[in-house]
Chain A
Amino acid sequence: MKKKHVSMKKKSSWRKHTDINDVEEFLEDQRLQERIGANIEKTDAELFQEDKTPQNKSISLRQEKKLRALEPSKCFIALANNSKVEDPIRKRNRVKTPDERKHPLLKAKIQKQKDEGIIPKRQLQSIKDRIEAKSKMIKSKVKNKTFDKDLWADDVKDPILQGNQELNSMWVNDELKQYHLKNLGEDRVKVPKITHEKRSQLKAIEPIAGLSYNPNKEDYENIINSVVSTEEEFMKKSQKLNTSLKAVYQKISKSEIKRRKRAEMREGFPIANGFEVEKDEEPSDNEYKTLNPPVRNKKKDLKKRRKQKEFKERMARKEIEKNELKKLKDLGMLKMYKKQILKTENEIEKKKETRLKKQEQKKFEPRRLTRKKFEDEDIHVEDSVEALGNLRKIKPLGSILVDRFKSMQKRNILLPNIKRLPRKRRITKVKKNSHKEEIPQISKKMRKSNKIQIHD
């Protein structure tokens, strides 16, 4: 409840009970106007302006970014003084910029020189230096490698010892040399044979007669036939694969899939297809039964043991007799055995020969070094003879680089691997809210059109 009547005897009570809200609001508003610098009394025409600049700016995104980079960064916005209120202290003693500190006379002189086109000495020198440094940079990039010695000269037997006069003398024995070299960090290392071995018996460069720019008819037909046969083989394989996979991946209707799935899920439940399955087994008694009944250790009696022993003895005797008889028989069979031995020896020899042949052939084939098998490059052939026969009209077919790469793989110098490229990650770009307003939205189409404009 509000009091109807209040005493206004004291100053404090006046302060307490008068309503000055509207006055304060007005003043606050006035201060705000002062700070922002707006003037309410302006007309609409003065306050607002017709936007005549085109919405789609003709600058590229890159240029825009550059312009934006010139502006002070967002983080300093809070520090900036936006108030339009003038500094109450007129002559505040603030730090002056170097430009402001300059003497006006000097300033005028510099300006005059600038107008006349005179560049000061220091600036000239700096420009010169910059150009020189740049040219030096280019030169240092193209390093001229020099080859100024004979690597295979007779006198250079031990290149490590060349520079070391003390060790190279005749008074130091070999062991001592080895010891010192080891401690100097220039140990003599035995080069493994693999560096000098030929990796394959294949030649590095094998020109094919049929690939001549103006080939003999026969050679050309040969190479075309070989290409066709490889292609046919490939097609045959792929077809075979297709047919065999067709059986595995059959086409099934959706309803069938559903039915099968349902059947699978229902597997093992007593209710199949909505009917109750009859139970095969009848309810048994409570008696415990195992599949393997326990074995009793039943002892044999003496008679059985004796008989067993006798049987064993008899068998042993029989075996001996048999062997003796065989020996006699074998004497008669000697000729046949000789033949047999000869036969087996022959077979072994043949096997050896084939093995050697295989080994010899293996020298011309790529070895199995990795999981991936070597695949030879397809031969690139001009498919019509009319395109051939003119040096001027030859078209590039295949590339020598690929040819070299494959040849090196074939000769076991390189592994038949393909470089695995890193997977490209999908990057989603999101703009921060604070940055959203500043960047004018330019559609992709517009960007393209802008680019074209700039290039023109």
Chain B
Amino acid sequence: MVKRFKKYESGEGNQFMTRLAALNKLQLSLNDFRRLCILKGIYPREPKNRRKTQQGQTQIKILYHKKDINFLLHDKLIWTLRDMKIMNRKIKFADSIGDKRLKRMRIAKYPELRLDHVVKERYPTFIDAIKDLDDCLTLLFLFSTFPALKSVARSITGLCRRLTVEFMHYVIASRSLRKVFVSIKGYYFQAEIKGELVTWIVPHYYPYQPQSKSEVDFRIMANFVEFYTVMCGFVNFRLYHSLNLLYPPQFNISLDSEESQVDENTFVSERIAALNVDIKKITDEEIEEPEDMDLQLISNEGDSEKIRKMHEREQALKRQKTLFQGLKFFINREVPREPLVFIIRSFGGKVSWDKTCFVGATFDEDDETITHQIVDRPSMTKQYISRDYIQPQWVFDSVNQANLLPTNKYFLGVTLPPHLSPFSNSFREIDYVPPEEKALRDPNLIIQHDISDEEIEKDKEEEEDDGPERTEGELNYALVNAFKEENKQIRVEKSAKVDENNKKNSKKQQQEESDDDELVDVSDMIVDSDVDQNDEEEEEETTKDEKVELTKEQKRALAKEKMKVDEGKLFKVDGKKEKKMTEQEAKLRAKMVKPRHKKLYYKLLEKREKETKEVKLLENKRKQLDEKRKKIRQKKSTV
């Protein structure tokens, strides 16, 4: 007989199970099940067709995939969770009969959840773990500020504190901090670790405020933290070893002393003091970073624009990493120290604070070599001439700009410029930037401001303090700039020449077809990209010629000629022609694109056009507004 077909015995109707069914299958309580799911990374699913998966029922149920539940079934964690349940019962019994000794013994024997294999399972490669570090770090930083609570044991908050301090030390040692943003919620940090951007929040320092239970399930968050501590520990281990640092790091200040358990102030200051200590290395050898490819060598090959850009970025990064190198900061009492110490140290600066108030100060306030004192009060009675008194925002802003900003905007008691988020505007290629922000970001303008004497002195100091690496970097940067300028000049000259040629051609061959013209343009473009090669060759040729027939006088004359500055020649730009050329260039570029990428290419073009249009609109709007304001002001002044 043929087997009768029954509904929901195969396919979608048979793939899922409700949470209750899963609980029954695993023989766990709801809380244990939740904990297990969080630890193992199993989540409920949203089916494509609810009615089919729920076998005809339409109300929304929590569904898990059957295979996921089977996966949970195989883990040893289930057995430890069951053991825990039994041990809880036993402890409760010992408590009820008042046998303290028995209770103590049983607590000591309490089974432990081993999560090493789970971490490896969830993050098969190290990069996977780093990609998921955002949540982990924010939660650990948050929990490290908590007191001992019912669902969060003291040992866990202590562990969180240890791990976060270790992580911050890695960031300091590797100089991988990139962005800082101070928000009402807390401090947003972004670091680049192994090429991945890791963002996390450090809360402002406030006393603990209890949460209402209806808002947050504390136990669930504690479960997350339980997993994240283990993960962060192993990540730290690997990160430290990649820098040849000793793990666990040893500080001369204990993080969990008995005094800190009583007094909250010492509890906080110990953590900060630990940040201001250098950590030990396993061996003195430094792991050499892969050196950058030589720019000059690569630039001769095609695609030089891209590589130059990359190189520039690299240079900027190098400069950012040593931003505060050689600077000495003193932090006043009223300023939040933890973020500032972390930031300054991770860009190479030295920090200290009031010795009498907190532990771990490295130098005193009356040290004459201090370059900056960070103050957050309207005025100060005793001030040193040798240092700048700045508000803390200077540090954040200069980190985000990757430049030491002029300090005059951040002086004591001055109303500060707005603190902009470095995280926004990253999605759009072209974006409207208001003139105020432009002024902030424009490096040329900064240089103009920089001319004050103190600034120069500081720069000198920096140079003196810096190692040879820094100067090399700077030299490189200067070289690159000079190189760029030269290229620009040559390009302008070339275009002028080409124009002249064209004119001549047009005179000679007036009735030629426009196709030839196009060809010329194209050839010109190609020439343009290979300019660097040609001009070097030319130079070489000239030098060779000179070597052949040189007397002293001739040499002098040649030198003089070389010294002489040629007068620039004016030439008229043919607007129509240029427009035509650009159009042709665009067409050619479009032709070069592979047919399968064509759609994407046009999409990108469209997007760019749209963005530029929007930016222009906004700029015009701004202009109009400014004019209006001007008129109003003029009217007022006349009245």
Contacts and interface: CB of A to CB of B under 8 A. Distances in A.
B119 interface: yes
A212 interface: yes
B388 interface: no
Given A196-B128, A400-B203, A415-B62, A147 B416 contact: no
Contact of A192 (B42, B44, B116, B153): B42
Contacts of B535: none
A405 B138 CA distance: 12
A7 to B, nearest CB: 74
A191 interface: yes
B551 interface: no
A399 B204 contact: no
Residue of A141, A159, A205 most packed against chain B (CB within 10 A): A205
B121 A392 contact: no
B188 A205 contact: yes
A224 interface: no
Interface residues of B, number: 95
Interface stretch (A27-35, A213-221, A259-267, A270-278): A213-221
A369 B44 contact: yes
B138 to A, nearest CB: 6
B313 interface: no
Nearest to B421: A209
A211 B234 CA distance: 34
Contact of B220 (A145, A215, A403, A414): A414
A147 B233 contact: yes
A212 B182 contact: yes
Interface string A380-421: 111000001111101011111111110010001111001101
A204 B43 contact: no
Nearest to B200: A205
Contacts of A189: 71, 74-75
Given A147-B233, A215-B419, A412-B43, A207 B188 contact: yes
Contacts of A140: 108
A87 B123 CA distance: 85
B125 A152 contact: yes
- Residue from A211, A212, A381, A388 having most chain B Cβ neighbours under 10 A: A212
A45 B20 CA distance: 78
Nearest to B133: A204
Contacts of A414: 220
A151 interface: yes
Interface stretch (B5-13, B154-162, B268-276, B582-590): B154-162
Interface string B487-513: 000000000000000000000000000
Contacts of A369: 44-46, 60, 62
Contact of B119 (A151, A204, A217, A399): A151
Contacts of B158: 142
22 contacts: A146-B248, A152-B126, A191-B121, A191-B122, A195-B122, A196-B128, A205-B201, A207-B188, A212-B183, A212-B418, A214-B393, A214-B418, A215-B418, A381-B184, A391-B182, A391-B391, A392-B335, A396-B209, A399-B211, A401-B221, A412-B43, A415-B44
Interface of B: 40-46, 59-62, 65, 67-68, 71, 74-75, 104, 108, 112, 116-117, 119-126, 128-129, 134-135, 138-139, 142, 153-155, 158-159, 181-186, 188, 199-201, 203-204, 206, 209, 211, 213-217, 219-221, 224, 229-230, 233-234, 236-238, 241, 247-248, 256, 334-336, 376-377, 391-393, 415-416, 418-421, 423-424, 434, 437
Interface of A: 137, 140-143, 145-152, 159, 187, 189-192, 194-196, 199, 203-209, 211-219, 367-371, 380-382, 388-392, 394, 396-405, 408, 412-415, 418-419, 421
Given A152-B126, A152-B129, A207-B183, 11 more contacts: A141-B153, A151-B238, A159-B120, A203-B199, A207-B199, A214-B416, A397-B184, A398-B185, A400-B185, A401-B211, A408-B224
